[in-house]
Structure 1
Amino acid sequence: MFSVIFVLGLLYHTYTDLKFMLLYDKVTLFLIAAGVVRAFYEHQLLNALYGAGVTLAIMLLLYFASRGGMGEGDVKLAPALGIWLGLDQGLLCLLLAFVSGGVVGVLLLLCKRGKLKQAIPFGPFLCAAAVTAYFCGKEIITWYWRMFL
């Protein structure tokens, strides 16, 4: 049941960010509340808090470094994802989102479909990365570490 709530919330965020360039606080707060309940139920509350804190810190750094280039909704969504994913998978989520967003941005520039300063909604990349990390994150992390051990 928790997985359905998570995916539906992220699908809604994806839709609203693509259509209106908005990530609604009410949806993010609902995801936070449901994520805390899930973390408590699964005895993962500490990992959820670490995930929320670290993802929020990274996004805040990027928000201030970009001087408003990243939306506040993206920053607020990050700790919600950290609660659901925990520390390791939360970091993987951010990595996947930034890499996929960067690839799409470069492709848009190369295909002359976008401009250098054009705003691209980042929420869909966060949401897709979160679903990937939620369902496949442990396997991706294990695969990654095996490459170096």
Structure 2
Amino acid sequence: MAFLFLPFLIILSIIAFIDLRSFRIPDPLVVVLFGLGALKMVLEGSYASSLSGFLALFGFFFLLHLFFPKGMGFGDVKLAGSIGLFLGLWLGVLSAFLAFISGGLVGVVLVVLRKKTLKDPLPFGPFLALGALLGLFFGERILSWYFGMFFP
């Protein structure tokens, strides 16, 4: 399904740049990502992993949005769910983890450099896109390394 990777990455890049500039994630672009994930799921027959990835990421980000509505927008919720559908459960969870790590690191650096304060918003879409990119290309290796530490 490699032919779906390029449109997935292009749409993610567009979303990241729009979110950086406007703190908005356009629904039509998320719908395209969702469609790409659904197509990949059907072509691969990966229904369980894809649907689990969607539910896990959408559910987790939805809870974050409920408890921290000013910290996590609903666009991030929909984007995370679409990424989970495309990548499946384990790569989706890994991509979200990598998004939080990279977003946290950038946030800390911006605060230390006095470019932002702890109260300033930071768009999360670019970090979700980065996490998805890393998960797509390096996720299998990262997960093999990680699980290999516990189950040699």
* CA-CA distance at 1:68 after TM superposition: 2.5
Match in the other structure for 1:56: 58
Q: Which amino acid aligns with 2:138?
A: C
Match in the other structure for 1:6: 8
Q: Distance in 2 between matches of 1:51 and 1:67?
A: 22
Match in the other structure for 1:136: 138
* Pairing of 1:115-126 with structure 2 (within 5 A): 115-126=117-128
Aligned-pair RMSD on alpha carbons?
A: 0.9
Q: Distance in 1 between matches of 2:69 and 2:37?
A: 30
Match in the other structure for 1:42: 44
- Structure 2: which 5+ residue stretches go unaligned? none
* CA-CA distance at 1:89 after TM superposition: 0.6
- Structure 1: which 5+ residue stretches go unaligned? none
SS at match of 2:123: coil
SS at match of 2:25: coil
Q: Distance in 2 between matches of 1:79 and 1:19?
A: 22
- Residue range with higher mean Cα deviation, 62-71 or 73-82: 62-71
TM-score (normalizing by structure 2): 0.94
Match of 1:17 among 10, 16, 19: 19
SS at match of 2:119: coil
% identical equivalent positions: 36
Match in the other structure for 2:32: 30
Spell out structure 1 runs of 4+ moving beyond 4 A. none
Match of 2:101 among 99, 102, 111: 99
* CA-CA distance at 1:67 after TM superposition: 3.1
